[in-house]
Amino acid sequence: MNTLCANMNYHIQKVTGRKYGINRGKPPTKLISGSGREYYYEKGILAIVVEVGTRNIPDYIQNMSESVNENIPALLHALSEAKSYGQTAPQRVSNFHIESFSSNSCSLKWDYDNNPNVYFKIYRNLNNKMSCNHSSLIATTCSTSFIDENLKSGTMYFYYVRAINKLSKTKSPFAPKVKIKTLLGEDEFSRTIFPHASDVGFVAEKSPEANHGHFGVQSLKVGVSQNRGISYGIMRFDLSSIPEDAIILEAKVSLYPLNRVSAKIEKYGEWSLSIIDQDSISNIRDFEQVHQAKHIKTIGGSIPSEKLTQGIWSHWDCNEFERKIIQSQLKRQNIILKLEGPTLLPIGRDSQVMVFDLGYGNAGGGLHYRPAIDIKYTVPSKEISIELQNSMTITPDDITQDSMACGFNKDDEKIYAYMSFDLSKLPNPDESVITDAWIEISNTSTVKKTMDIRYNVEFVDLEEFSYQDIRERERIEFIGYEVSSAELGKKKKHHFIFDHYSKLALEEKQQNGEEAKFVIHPTSVLSRDHLIKWSHKGKKAAKLMVKYIKRRKHPLPSVVNLQCKVENKLVKLTWDKIEDNDLVGYYVVRNRWHVPKNPFDGVKLYAGSDNYTFDNFGSTKMDKYFAVFTYDNVPNFSQGTEIEYKA
């Protein structure tokens, strides 16, 4: 039903540009009384309520006519989908799941009875409750699997699939969606930071005494009303888990709009988020201080009232300049953000207030719906210089130790220069990542300008060092670009840069305790008798330069002995603790439809170091699946340990 609503939203937005919200679960009966929804539900008929206005008696010309016009195409779409739930529609796809994923790809699989008259359409969105149409369609296939490639690291993706009959074009209902957050890049870290309950709330102009009680319990009520006056949301995030010298690659702030009933004016006002100068405010619960606080920078784009969607996350994405400002706040180890909406009301109007979920308190939806700041970052690399370990000049007739020269002999046979480096100086490969590597080498001789000859550096795998072995060498990769004879005359020092594959090969050599071996050779077909000498002694001798960062590569072990039981009318999960100094905590996820295949494939219940948790917001009368993942400070997540709860 969420997908149907999202597709209706798409048609509404095409007409008026307005975005409607999609309620989380079943809306309160009192809000939709008279709509007939409850009557249809009693009959076992799926039904939804589409909001058509925010005032009891809206201005027909300005508001109501818009609502009528925008709802007609949405209603036509909904009616066209009705046959997807009929008896003649194809069967719904079952067991739609994520088989595997990496930092840039995802493998999807599902089950379906063999039917040559059926094919499948797969959709992908970057946010939840978004439309599934031509703009999000990524594949049409007859297979029951699909690999989605060229994805972005550390990014959330939502996938949907439905079956379609080739002859009738009738579509099945959508299978329950699956979602992933792709793995981080090899040099990346991430943090999702939530404010402490005492550090998030709202302050209102006309209730200074009550503002203290607005923190950690009540929802964020932001905007302006006759009763409260101006009200601001204020939140402080603890950044102490991020190194002070971190380089922020991406940052976004997310809030969950819970209720827009008090936003009564169509297309009026915008909600913006600003970084506050901490020196200009000492008490975040004091309205006057929040009101007068100095803004350092507004982040992301302001969201107008017609695009603040109840039940759909709102995001403020930071650009490079804004990320640098957040980076400057790392030394303070926290950041204060101020959320503000309109501050004046038109004549005759009494409220334009948007309500955002805190996740805390009786009105909160749980930990999953707390305000959050997501930061992806890396850290400055350290540089190490590795001296030349061994060098040779290898000709058809001889091998000369402690020498480096390449070219052609009088018989037009290639002469190879060989060099190797001892990698034992590099840090533990399981706890570090090579971010950059290059060979720095200088030539000590040149050739005539009339010669057009080029020289390559190859990363090779050699056991023996005869001329025949060199000719039949196993090539790992070329290092950097070739150097021409003309360049040798213009400059003496050259840098051969490792690509991604070469860096992985270098790490593998280090892991296996092997040397890194390279050969230099000419590539020209027009061979001529000549010899290029390369520096192999002293300060100008060839060097292997490596930049690296400290970062764990592999996840921790999975938890064992996961159990669930009902205790105090709540489902309680317990598991055995893992003894490991790199353990940061356990991440617990619930999914109503299938086993969570990754930490983001469901509703988050807990993240912390305890070895138990409760499903505080879940029913004990409903079947569901749980999974527990361990994580470190990157975070790398382990394989999930799964359990099914039977009501």
pLDDT-derived band at 158 (thresholds 50, 70, 90) equals very high
Residue 526 pLDDT level (bands cut at 50, 70, 90): low
Nearest to 264 by CA among 19, 34, 56, 33: 56
| 378/376 Cα distance (integer angstroms) | 7
Comparing C-alpha atoms, which of 564, 575, 571, 585 is closest to residue 634? 585
Superfamily of domain 94-186: Immunoglobulins (2.60.40.10)
pTM: 0.87
Read off φ and ψ for residue 278, nearest 5 degrees.
-65, -20
Domain 192-378 listed as CATH 2.60.120: yes
pLDDT tens digits for range 326-341: 999 999 999 999 999 9
Residue 254 pLDDT greater than 80, yes or no: yes
User: How does the average pLDDT of the chain come out, rounded?
Assistant: 88
540/325: higher pLDDT: 325
Residue 450: the pLDDT is: 65
Mind spelling out the 3-state secondary structure of 495-516?
EEECCHHHHHHHHHHHHCCCCE
pLDDT at residue 56 in the model: 42
Q: Is the pLDDT of residue 51 over 90?
A: no
* Terminal Cα-to-Cα distance of the chain (whole angstroms): 24
SS3 assignment, position 493: strand
Do 510 and 430 touch, CB atoms closer than 8 A? Answer: no
For residues 91-105, give the mean pLDDT. 93
The answer, yes or no, to whether residue 102 has pLDDT greater than 70, is yes
Q: What is the pLDDT of residue 187?
A: 94
- Residue 338 pLDDT: 97
Does domain 382-550 match CATH 2.40.50? no
Residue 635: cis peptide before it, omega within 30 degrees of 0: yes
- Helix, strand, coil shares of the chain, percent, nearest 5, are 20, 40, 45
pLDDT at 55: 46
Q: Looking at the domain that runs over 563-645, which CATH code has it been given?
A: 2.60.40.10
Distance from C-alpha of 161 to C-alpha of 178, rounded to nearest angstrom: 9
Neighbours of 243 (CB within 10 A): 14
Distance of CA 24 to the CA centre of its chain: 23
Strands in 542-583 per DSSP E:
543-550, 563-567, 570-574
Interatomic CA distance for residues 262 and 277, integer angstroms? 30
**C-beta neighbour count of 398 within 10 angstroms:** 8
Q: Kindly report, residue by residue over 611-622, the tens digit of the pLDDT.
A: 999 998 888 999
- The mean pLDDT of 217-237, rounded to a whole number, is 93
Among 555, 613, 568, 620, smallest CA distance to 588 is for 613
Contacts of 169 (CB under 8 A, 6+ apart): none
- What is the C-alpha separation between 281 and 290, in angstroms, rounded? 7
Strand partners, 223: 231, 353
Q: What is the pLDDT of residues 406-456, one digit of tens each?
A: 988 888 889 999 999 999 999 999 999 999 999 999 999 887 766 778 889
In terms of Cα–Cα distance, which of 271, 237, 269 is closest to 251?
A: 237
Q: Is the pLDDT of residue 54 over 50?
A: no
77/79 Cα distance (integer angstroms): 5
Q: What is the mean pLDDT of residues 67-80?
A: 82
pLDDT at 11: 86
- Between 264 and 621, whose confidence is greater? 621
Q: What gap in Å lies between CA 532 and CA 452, rounded to an integer?
A: 13
What's the pLDDT tens digit per position in 600-641?
988 899 999 999 999 988 889 999 999 999 999 999 999 999
pLDDT digits (tens, 9 = 90+) for 461-474: 888 878 888 888 88
User: For the residues 551-568, what does the mean pLDDT come to?
Assistant: 94
Confidence of residue 485 (pLDDT cuts 50, 70, 90): confident
Place of tokens 């803004």: 295
3-state SS, residue 26: coil
Say how far apart CA 235 and CA 339 lie, in whole Å.
8
Q: pLDDT for 341-386, tens place per residue? A: 999 999 989 999 999 998 877 767 777 889 999 999 999 999 999 9
Closest CA to 436 of 518, 521, 495: 495
Give the rounded percent of residues in the chain with a pLDDT score beyond 70: 92
Asked if residue 157 lies in contact with residue 34, where contact means CB atoms within 8 angstroms, the answer is no
Please compute, for residue 313, the number of CA atoms within 13 A of its CA located in the half-sphere on the CB side: 20
